[in-house]
Amino acid sequence: MSSYLNRKSNFELLRIVSQFYIILYHIFCFFIYPNTGVAFHKAIQMTFHVGVIDFVLISGYFGIRPSSKGFIKLLSIFLVYSLPYVFYKITTAADLKDICSQLLVISRSPLWFVKTYIYLYLFSPVLNLHIKHSSVRQKWYVIFVLFFVCIYMGMVKGDDSLSSGKNLPNFILIYLLGNILMQYKDLLAKISQKRWIIIYIVFNLILVTLYCLFSNGIIGKIIWHISFIYCSPILFINAIIFFMFFAQMNIKSKFINWIAKSSFAIYLIHGNRPYAYTLIGLASVYCVNHITNPIILFISIVLLAIAIIVITVSIDKLLTPLWNLFERLGNYMFMRLKF
């Protein structure tokens, strides 16, 4: 616990901001834009969509250190926060077969990111061996192959299984790109933090403005396609620029680190269906129906997202004794497996 609190806080802050972006994206995608039809409310989703990419980039930058205790804790947190959804599905099940199928929590979960991240976690030992023993040329070869598979085949919809980017090959690509950013961090550090944030702001202003101008035509569809889906090249560039802004920070805060420890829980709780999802939807639609000023509406949604983070982090901290219990269980099983 203490070692976690003593970490540098720039990437821990990025974890929090990534979750903040994910919440904002979900609100605008599922509740605001469907009720307003305003082009800006769709365009801004491209900016917020970097959250998932940056979360995986962090894993690649530092490398996942897989272990039985780490996996047990990851799985335990996921299973505990999935219980409300499982309970709901069981109570609304049509028959015994349907009830039994709902007990397959991982495969039946609606949270695609968690499932894909679990695949990445389990596959990470192979990736770490590749990173450790491959030459620079071999590393770039694998990245170029994954670019062809994930970005080209996914973006042009040459393979339906790759078209959304919500899959293991795309997460492997992001993980390896995170490692590349670590290897070239000294070279990238020559670009100042101020320049990274300016590039990020200008990049997104151009992106959002272009989409708003051409949202009803073929140009708008092209901009959306190459900038939004998780295997789109513009989204990758956007996420890397945002990532590098935080990489150039030099901050240390136990409070930020303490909050970031619950970043995974923020995703799990706020995306829980139907309970949290329904409440967030009601609050979002209420804002749309009662706030006519677009600036005040945007500020209200940002405040709602902050409130969601405060509530979800508070819930996770209340469950700290349970997570400590699972951690001790993981340590016990790790020792048993080790010896």
Helix axes 39-48, 193-214, angle to 10 degrees: 150
Encode burial over 31-62: b for 16+ CB neighbours within 10 A, e otherwise: bbbeeeebbbbbbbbbbbbbbbbbbbbbbbbe
Position 3 scores a pLDDT of 52
Cα–Cα separations (whole angstroms), residue 221 to 42, 245, 292: 12, 29, 28
**Which residue has tokens 């919500």?**
166
Cα–Cα separations (whole angstroms), residue 162 to 155, 171, 183, 275: 8, 11, 28, 30
Contacts of 93 (CB under 8 A, 6+ apart): 99, 102
Which pLDDT tens digits describe the chain residue by residue (339 residues)?
445 555 679 999 999 999 999 999 999 999 999 999 999 999 999 999 999 999 999 999 999 998 877 888 888 888 888 888 888 777 777 777 777 777 777 887 888 898 999 999 999 999 999 999 999 899 999 999 999 999 888 888 777 778 888 999 999 999 999 999 999 999 998 999 999 999 999 999 999 999 999 998 999 999 998 899 999 999 999 999 999 999 999 888 999 999 999 999 999 888 877 778 889 999 999 999 999 999 999 999 999 999 999 999 999 999 888 877 777 766 666 566 554
Number of H helices, E strands in the chain: 21, 0
User: Rounded to an integer, what distance in angstroms lies between the CA atom of residue 288 and that of residue 302?
Assistant: 13
Give the alpha-carbon dihedral of 14, 59, 150, 277, to 10 degrees.
-60
Would you say the pTM of this structure is higher than 0.85? yes
* Entry field: residues in the chain: 339
Position 339 scores a pLDDT of 43
Residue at 276: amino acid letter:
A
Position 276 scores a pLDDT of 80
Half-sphere exposure of 162 (CA within 13 A, CB side): 21
Position 15 scores a pLDDT of 95
Encode burial over 242-264: b for 16+ CB neighbours within 10 A, e otherwise: bbbbbbbeeeebeebbbbbbbbb
Cα 20 to chain centroid, rounded: 10
Position 1 scores a pLDDT of 44
Half-sphere exposure of 208 (CA within 13 A, CB side): 18
